[in-house]
Amino acid sequence: MSEPSKIIRSRVAGVGCYLPERVVTNAELEQAVDTSDDWIVQRTGIRRRHIAAEGETTSQLGIRAAEAALRAAGLTGDQIDLLIVATSTPDYTFPATATQIQFALGMDQGVAFDLQAVCSGFVFAVATADKFIKSGSHRRALVIGAETFSRLLDWEDRTTCVLFGDGAGAMVLEAAEGDGTSKDRGVLTTHLRSDGAHRAKLYVDGGPSTTGTTGHLRMNGKEVYRHAVGMVTDVMRDAFAATGTTAEDMTWFVPHQANRRIIESSAEKMGIAPEKVVITVDRHGNTSAASIPLALCTAVADGRIKPGDLVMIEAMGGGFTWGSALIRW
């Protein structure tokens, strides 16, 4: 009888995260715009957000998160051969924030590049890194979600400025052997989608080739909300179908942290028990591509996520973009 064939899996070797020091509470925002702690908590679940200090950049946040993830993995930057930074708030138009971080970490081999899928960026970056690793071309990937969304906000627009915050999270993925079943440890499946028909519902009204300015975030929140639950539950179903698993098999649901009501509706629609849902949006608001690794980092640090657990991550954001990844920790 022939031996069952082995496949390459991208296994999680460590996660890390970083939030800037300055905390802005809902009460502080009440002083700046016509809003209330009650409204923000009831509509979104957000209680506070962290805002980068003047001069503190996306790459600096990303470096702190990456260093923590490398420490958790017992690795140093020179052992990484693929670095992907998911961000919509790069330090500069170019070079990529990823190459800034590559240099700072002493990663003197391989390749580093940015990826832009707004709030879905981390899921897109995990899927991309997984495909590189599975192809055999790269062995150790550092995937970072890092954002300074505070720099894109119109601080006079109460419909958006209360929702977002700054932060960064990172994950190290390492090539490992698997049997090709859902019992393998590592990324089991990824599902990415986009639909540009929705591009005007959530966008930034500036850029190098339009206004020549950075611009401000503009969102039709109701429209985004209307599509969010259906889109993320679609790609979660795809992940379960591709792996022959169910919501019952899943240990932890770690969604993009934009709005507590979207998270709870998605979990309910999928039949996910509330105690399996990791929610951190109350502590840092919507940090776009950084939100999932921030939530993962929290749930690993407090002992919830353990080796062998089945973890679903999903996100939806500007574009629209949306996606899921099912990971055996």
Residues that bind ligand UT7 (CB under 6 A): 35, 39, 43-44, 119, 158-159, 162, 202, 221-222, 224-225, 228, 256, 258-259, 262, 286, 316-317
Q: Which is nearer to ligand UT7, 58 or 257 (CB)?
A: 257
Rounded least distance, CB 20 to ligand UT7, Å: 19
Please, what is the minimum distance in Å from the beta carbon of residue 39 to ligand UT7?
Answer: 4
Q: Contacts for 201-207 with beta carbons within 8 Å, 24 or more apart? A: 201/227, 201/320, 202/118, 202/317, 202/318, 202/319, 202/320, 203/318, 204/88, 204/152
Please name the amino acid found at residue 211: T
Q: Which is nearer to ligand UT7, 117 or 173 (CB)?
A: 117
Residues 250-261, buried b or exposed e (16+ Cβ, 10 A)? bebbbbbbbbbe
The residue sitting closest to ligand UT7, measured at its beta carbon, is 221
Shortest Cβ 29–ligand UT7 spacing (Å): 8
Tell me whether residue 152 or residue 202 sits nearer to ligand UT7 (CB atom).
202
Q: Evaluate whether 185 touches 122 at the Cβ level (below 8 Å).
A: no
Closest distance to ligand UT7 from the beta carbon of 147 (Å): 11
Instruction: Tell me the C-alpha distance between 302 and 289, whole Å.
Output: 22
CA-closest candidate to residue 296, choices 137, 145, 91, 176: 145
* Tokens (6 digits) for 176: 């490992």
- Per the annotation, the verdict on 119 as an active-site residue is yes
| Nearest residue (CB) to ligand UT7, 149 versus 252 | 149
For the question of residue 198 being annotated catalytic, the response is no
CB of 32 to ligand UT7, least distance (A): 11
Please identify which of the residues 17, 119, 161, 297 carries the catalytic annotation.
119
- The CA distance from 157 to 34, in Å, is 9
State both tokens at 19: 């939030």
- Rounded least distance, CB 189 to ligand UT7, Å: 23
Q: Which is nearer to ligand UT7, 92 or 155 (CB)?
A: 155
C-alpha to C-alpha distance for 281 and 294, rounded to whole angstroms: 10
8 Å CB contact between 119 and 286: yes
Which of 144/258 has CB closer to ligand UT7? 258
Helices (H), the chain: 26-30, 37-44, 58-73, 97-104, 121-135, 158-161, 221-243, 260-270, 281-284, 291-301
**Where is 144: in which H helix or E strand?**
strand 140-148
DSSP state of 262: H
Q: Which of 198, 256, 284, 297 is catalytic?
A: 256
Find residue 203's DSSP bridge partners: 218
297 an active-site residue? Answer: no
Q: Which residues are catalytic?
A: 119, 256, 286
